[in-house]
């Protein structure tokens, strides 16, 4: 099963639309605790997801109980609900959380001290940055370390020609002119954001973006999972540094150095300072005593989790009818995911495939469903492509080698990679290997890298084409001879031919029927010049058994096929392919009596 790992990205956006400063706590060495509650906290109302499939209207209370901690699609506020189609916006959930705005240089030490009180949601960093937390490096240099009130006031005077209460704001032309004169030439050139000063504060496009869907907002592309925004009062009318520091600079009365948000655990959402545990207050006080200019704020935030945040099973759980088993596993071959859907899933197959594709891109580009058990001679899978690109030709890397595969026309099973490795580990560089059912060559080509020589055969012309292509691709074509014939004929001709090197290992990987091919070995050396030297090959034959004692049963099949009982067989269970059905591998040296029988 393949589960794609993902990275959380907390996006910085432009100043926030809606506006409430809920609780504000300022701790400084000169002040005691201030707590202002401008608005009464809103209780968190769990909002449920009603899906496009009628049957997915699961009872709210039940679901909420099941998801009491951590993010869930059954919690948070929905942005909007489009009931007609599968719409990624339907999976956006907004959570109210409380955060501590702390000086950036202290965020890591505070993070470790506040462990247990911080948000502990998968893939969400509990240290967040929002617009306005940082300042351009050029400006930082300009301010130096003196970001105390006096320096900041002086900076404001230099930028705006005034400080708070000094009178009217300058027009932008004069302002720019003044700024250009204020900075020396080096400073001006280095000052990236100066160009923005003459730009209108909010472009039409930006206003439209803001009014339109949240997904169109600046910096919020397809790959973002989460966004932290501080809920602050809009349009305070205060002069701000946004022109100078860029559009992302948040409006704040005073910039007091770089800050970060420490996201508090969800249980503190909408809580005031008095309601926070003593442990948090004690940590803040302790830090406060260490520095003369530390200030901490309790801020109310919105944490938005987008469609990209949710795992495949979480999305499918709300999309599929209640009680239906959510398909959670699939196999991958290169860029192709192949599902094995149950009958009950079939009416939803396209939806399931879309989610599998979305949640596993870019590694997965095609999602297909296996529509039938493998019955045909070439052991190919019957696949129906449900989502993504329709090509079933892909490349698999195994054992450091590249294998091109067309799943529509050839056999491939990634699950056998370990078994192939085990088998290869039995070979030495003196071996000459004969692969009777080679497919596109995972054993034959890997063996060619290690052994002296390989004879590889398959009945399927397409498999042989890929076998040739893969041997060339891996630059091993000089060590492999490829045949396209029935296994029985191949065994017969390869052992009879005088040109053939002495074969030491034979691989027979056609578990459904391989044992039936064993009788081909009867008398193979009897047909040849008796005066010659013969090497009895070691045969590795695969088979299935549903018997109570699968090893014994497979052993029996081999004895019957060879009409011989007195020889040693090493038997291994490879894997359980279905309930009660084992795949086995039997290895034995071809008995002399069989090889020379008449």
Ligand X SMILES: C[S@@+](CC[C@H](N)C(=O)[O-])C[C@H]1O[C@@H](n2cnc3c(N)ncnc32)[C@H](O)[C@@H]1O
Q: Which stretch binds ligand X (CB under 6 A): 46-54, 354-362, 373-381, 425-433?
A: 373-381
Q: If you search the block for the tokens 């031919």, which residue do you land on?
A: 497
Comparison of 464 and 558: residue with beta carbon closer to ligand X: 464
As given in the structure block, the two tokens for residue 437 are: 């059912």
The smaller minimum CB distance to ligand X, of residues 93 and 540, is found at 540
* Of the residues 405, 463, 467, 595, which one makes contact with ligand X according to CB under 6 A: 463
Of the CA atoms within 13 Å of residue 376, those in its CB half-sphere come to 12
Cβ neighbour number for residue 529 with a 10 Å cutoff = 8
Number of H helices, E strands in the chain: 17, 22
Q: How far is the CB of 434 from ligand X (least distance, A)?
A: 12
Contact 450, 429 (CB under 8 A): yes
Determine which residue in the list 110, 127, 459, 480 makes contact with ligand X, applying CB under 6 A: 459
Using the contact rule CB under 6 A, the part of the chain among 243-251, 269-277, 433-441, 549-557 near ligand X is: 433-441
How many residues interact with ligand X (rule CB under 6 A)? 19
Q: Does 379 bind ligand X (CB under 6 A)?
A: yes
Residue 458 binding ligand X, by CB under 6 A: yes
Q: Contact between 416 and ligand X (CB under 6 A)?
A: yes
47 CB neighbour count, 10 Å cutoff: 17
487 assigned ligand-binding residue? yes
Rg (CA), the chain: 35
Instruction: Please pick, from the candidates 72, 509, 557, 587, the single residue that binds ligand X as defined by CB under 6 A.
Output: 509
CB closer to ligand X, 319 vs 448: 448
Neighbouring residues of 567: CB distance < 8 A, sequence distance ≥ 6:
588, 589, 591
Q: How far apart are CA 462 and CA 464, in angstroms?
A: 5
Among residues 377, 549, 570, 592, which is the contact residue for ligand X, using CB under 6 A?
377
- Helix, strand, coil shares of the chain, percent, nearest 5, are 35, 20, 45
| Kind of pairing between the strands at 226-230 and 259-263 | unpaired
Which residues are CB-contacts of 373 (< 8 A; sequence separation ≥ 6)? none
Which ranges in 93-133 belong to alpha helices (H)? 107-113
- At residue 424, φ and ψ (nearest 5 deg) are -60, -30
Residues of this chain, 487-506, that bind ligand X according to CB under 6 A: 487
Sign, CA dihedral 305-306-308-310, equals positive
Alpha carbons 418 and 440: distance in angstroms, whole number: 17
- Structural contact between residues 25 and 37, judged by C-beta atoms closer than 8 angstroms: no
Does 554 participate in binding ligand X (rule CB under 6 A)? no
**What is the closest distance, in whole angstroms, from the C-beta atom of residue 359 to ligand X in the complex?**
28
Residue 509 assigned to a binding site: yes
CB of 397 to ligand X, least distance (A): 15
Q: How far is CA 418 from CA 414, 443, 592, in A?
A: 9, 11, 31
- Asked if 460 touches ligand X (CB under 6 A), the answer is yes
420 is in an annotated binding site: yes
Residues 333-372 that bind ligand X (CB under 6 A): none
Report the nearest approach of ligand X to the CB of residue 513 (Å): 7
Tell me how far, at minimum, the Cβ of 412 lies from ligand X, in Å: 6
Shortest spacing between CB 512 and ligand X, in angstroms = 8
Sole binder of ligand X in the list 71, 103, 442, 550 (CB under 6 A): 442
Binding mask 230-259 toward ligand X (x if CB under 6 A, else -) reads: ------------------------------
Is 411 an interacting residue with respect to ligand X (CB under 6 A)? yes
Instruction: Give φ, ψ of 380 to 5 degrees.
Output: -90, 150
340 in a known ligand binding site: no
| Residue closest to ligand X, measured at CB | 439
Annotated binding residues, written as ranges, equal 420, 458-459, 486-487, 509
Annotated binding residues for S-adenosyl-L-methionine, written as ranges, equal 420, 458-459, 486-487, 509
Residues found near ligand X in the complex (CB under 6 A): 377-379, 411-412, 416, 437-439, 442-443, 458-460, 463, 486-487, 509-510
């Amino acid at each position: 099963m393949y589960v794609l790992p993902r990275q959380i990205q907390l996006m910085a956006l432009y100043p926030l639309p809606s506006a409430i400063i809920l609780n504000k706590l300022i701790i400084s060495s000169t002040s005691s605790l201030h707590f202002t509650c401008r608005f009464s906290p809103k209780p968190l109302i769990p909002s449920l997801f009603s899906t496009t499939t009628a049957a997915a209207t699961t009872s709210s209370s039940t679901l909420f109980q099941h998801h009491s901690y951590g993010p869930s699609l059954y919690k948070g506020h929905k942005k909007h609900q489009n009931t007609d189609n599968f719409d990624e916006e339907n999976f956006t959930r907004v959570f109210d959380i409380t955060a501590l705005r702390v000086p950036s240089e202290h965020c890591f030490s505070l993070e470790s001290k506040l462990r247990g009180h911080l948000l502990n949601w998968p893939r969400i960093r509990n240290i967040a940055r929002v617009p306005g937390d940082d300042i351009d490096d050029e400006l930082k240099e300009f301010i130096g370390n003196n970001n105390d009130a006096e320096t900041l006031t002086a900076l404001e005077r230099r930028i705006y020609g005034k400080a708070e209460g000094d009178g009217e704001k300058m027009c932008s032309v004069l302002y720019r002119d003044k700024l250009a004169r204020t900075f020396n030439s080096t400073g001006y050139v280095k000052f990236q954001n100066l160009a923005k000063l003459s730009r209108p504060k909010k472009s039409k496009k930006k206003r439209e973006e803001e009014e339109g869907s949240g997904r169109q907002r600046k910096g919020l592309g397809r790959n973002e999972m989460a966004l932290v925004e501080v809920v602050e009062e809009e349009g305070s009318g205060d002069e701000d540094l946004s022109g100078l520091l860029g559009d992302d600079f948040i409006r704040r009365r005073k910039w007091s150095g770089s800050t970060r948000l420490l996201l508090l655990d969800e249980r503190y959402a909408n809580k005031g300072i008095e309601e926070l545990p003593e442990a948090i207050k004690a940590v803040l006080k302790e830090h406060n005593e260490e520095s003369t200019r530390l200030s901490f704020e309790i801020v109310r935030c919105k944490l938005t989790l987008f469609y990209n945040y949710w795992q495949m099973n979480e999305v499918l759980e709300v999309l599929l009818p209640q009680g239906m088993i959510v398909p959670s596993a699939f196999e991958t071959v290169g860029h192709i995911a192949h599902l094995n859907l149950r009958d009950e899933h079939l009416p939803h197959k396209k939806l399931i495939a879309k989610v599998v594709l979305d949640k596993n891109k870019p590694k997965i580009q095609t999602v297909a469903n296996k529509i039938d058990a493998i019955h045909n001679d070439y052991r190919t899978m019957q696949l129906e492509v449900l989502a993504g690109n329709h090509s079933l030709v892909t490349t698999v890397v195994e054992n450091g080698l590249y294998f091109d595969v067309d799943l529509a026309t050839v056999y491939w099973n990634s699950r056998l990679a370990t078994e192939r490795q085990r088998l290869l580990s039995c070979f030495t560089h003196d071996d000459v290997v004969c692969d009777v059912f080679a497919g596109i060559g995972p054993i034959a080509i890997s063996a060619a890298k290690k052994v002296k020589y390989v004879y590889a055969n398959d009945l399927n012309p397409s498999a042989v084409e890929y076998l040739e292509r893969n041997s060339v691709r891996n630059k091993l074509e000089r060590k492999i001879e490829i045949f396209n014939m029935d296994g029985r004929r191949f065994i017969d001709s390869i052992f009879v031919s005088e040109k053939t090197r002495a074969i030491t290992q034979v691989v027979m990987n056609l578990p459904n029927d391989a044992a039936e091919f064993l009788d081909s070995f009867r008398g193979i050396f009897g047909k040849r010049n008796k005066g010659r030297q013969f090497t009895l090959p070691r045969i590795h034959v695969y088979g299935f058994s549903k018997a109570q004692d699968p090893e014994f049963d497979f052993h029996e099949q081999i004895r019957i096929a060879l009409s011989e009982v007195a020889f040693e067989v090493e038997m291994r269970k490879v894997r359980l392919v279905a309930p009660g059905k084992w795949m086995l591998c039997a290895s034995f040296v071809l008995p002399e009596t069989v090889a020379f029988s008449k």
